[in-house]
A = this chain, B = another copy of it.
Amino acid sequence: MGSSNPAQAAAPARRWDTRRQEKRRRLDAVRHLADGAVLPADRLAEALESLVVSGDRVVLEGNNQKQADFLARALVRVDPERVNRLHMIMPSVSLPEHLDLFERGIASKLDFAYAGAQSLRISQFLQDGTLQVGALHTYIELYARLYVDLAPNVVMVAGYKADRAGNLYTGPSTEDTPALVEAAAFRDGIVIAQVNQIVDDPQDLPRVDVPGSWIDFVVQSDKPFYIEPLFTRDPRLVKPVHVLMAMMAIRGVYERHQVQSLNHGIGFNTAAIELLLPTYGARLGLKNKICRNWTLNPHPTLIPAIESGWVESVYCFGAELGMEAYTAARPDIFFTGRDGSMRSNRAFCQLAGQYAVDLFIGSTLQMDGLGNSSTVTHGRLTGFGGAPNMGHDPHGRRHATPAWLDLVDGGTDGGGIDPLARGKKLVVQMVETFQDGTAPTIVESLDAVEVGKASGMPLAPIMIYGDDVTHVLTEEGIAYLYKARSLEERKAMLAAVAGVTPIGLRHDPAATARLRRDGLVALPEDIGVQRAEATRSLLAAKSIGELVDWSGGLYQPPAKFRSW
């Protein structure tokens, strides 16, 4: 038996359950307000004044779509004299209340991954000193830090239903909820869930998405939680140039590299690809050969491809408003629970989108001559959500697929493969050379560089780094950047498809012929794409109404998309 260590004997007795004791203290403080695990809606702010303590790290769900808005409104109402200096951790800063917390002096620090409508106000608050930014994260690194150095004291989430023991049914918009809850439930944090309905009989819960033993309190909200239809693209707004680019993507990327599994961004370009599969793609004989397994939200524009039998599976980050009945009626395609409704899971879909798919294709607001891109522009600190995670080659991947192998150091055509070489995930940036015909997309220097400096960030907020981009696709052509043999060649390739932007104009037209001959750049005619064919008539659906038709009436678009 070893000797007792002197260091240990000398140490003062230490408590090892301070978090647990503090949690118990807070729970005891609201016990008179609660009926077991059920908090009364009309005394929620009062309860929060005991459950949340100044200086706490507080996770507020703030997702890409689903919002714990009732809890946000209650938190804004606590007395800032009593609760202040909160460190808010939010996947998405989406509602005015999220920033009212700072204006009212309740919160002072913010870690987040995405801010859409609130991005302008964040920048202002940052300048005014009203708000301090911890860091801009991607979704999964934000979740990851909850388990490392940002352990939350309180986590507030939203679901459809709960029973009185706290068992939670999230509905199709499971999204970030399990990842956020687990971090607090297993580190003596407090978990509070708002739900649209509390059921008395546990049997009335359709299914359990998060067990009651992980959740401390549930509260029935005054109205259903807010959810934003972020992934609905009206086919009426798909332009012929999008059709042309979609044709090029299908022929010059998907067909060429045999892309089986993929993730699409939310732009009109990628919506056009989805709408072209059952028409242009079918004519090329590509059905069941490409685009079988998807990781993306239930895009309404994917309905025609699904109904035409193109799609084997769709695994979702989140849900999409109006797609509930459709996804429930297609369980062979979508992930659904025993109750029949969809389950999404952003943490796992991020894993899937990084480690299990051949291709990511997305768009950006600005790209520089090396392929670095960002959606951060002057005055707006938007963050990137999951784009940087989808838009890079995960070096931890070890399994091979045909598309991944096809990108081994210039491809496998030219003889044997270096055994120490690796395949690559396809990261495709699909951009029109100009935004709305006026501002160039491809620029000398990203606004993000200046925004980063002005905001005091250690590095510029780059969304996707150029060295992670394998293809750039514009209305001019495709630059196969993964084949570039030098930085200079990479620049020349990108310039060759940059049109009449400043970057494009600097390009030597004579060089394009060589780049095309070497297979480094392809114009539409090089890959058999007829520009004249690029019309809206190729779209499998030309309006939201036609998407509804394709779905057999199962897709129920939100009011703002109902124009017929």
Contact = CB atoms under 8 A, between A and B. Distances in A.
Interface of A: 1-5, 7-8, 11, 14-20, 134-138, 140-141, 143-145, 147-149, 151, 167, 179, 182, 185-188, 207-214, 260-261, 278, 292-293, 295, 304, 307-309, 312-313, 315, 329-333, 335-339, 343, 345, 347-349, 351-352, 354-357, 370, 372, 384, 388-400, 405, 408, 417, 419-423, 449, 452-453, 458-462, 465, 468, 540-550, 552, 564
Report whether over half of chain A's contact residues are helix, strand or loop; otherwise say mixed: loop
Number of copies: 2
A144 to B, nearest CB: 4
A155 to B, nearest CB: 14
Given A149-B356, A351-B347, A458-B405, A5 B143 contact: no
Contacts of A179: 348
A549 B4 contact: yes
A137 B397 CA distance: 7
A147 B421 contact: no
Contact of A550 (B5, B210, B336): B5
Given A308-B7, A459-B419, A295 B148 contact: yes
A136 B468 CA distance: 24
A12 to B, nearest CB: 10
A351 B315 contact: no
A151 B345 CA distance: 16
B398 A384 contact: yes
Pick the most buried of A214, A419, A460: most chain B CB atoms within 10 A of its CB. A419
Given A308-B11, A351-B347, A2 B389 contact: no
Contacts of A421: 459
Contacts of A422: 459, 462, 465
6 contacts: A19-B332, A144-B348, A147-B356, A214-B337, A388-B398, A398-B461
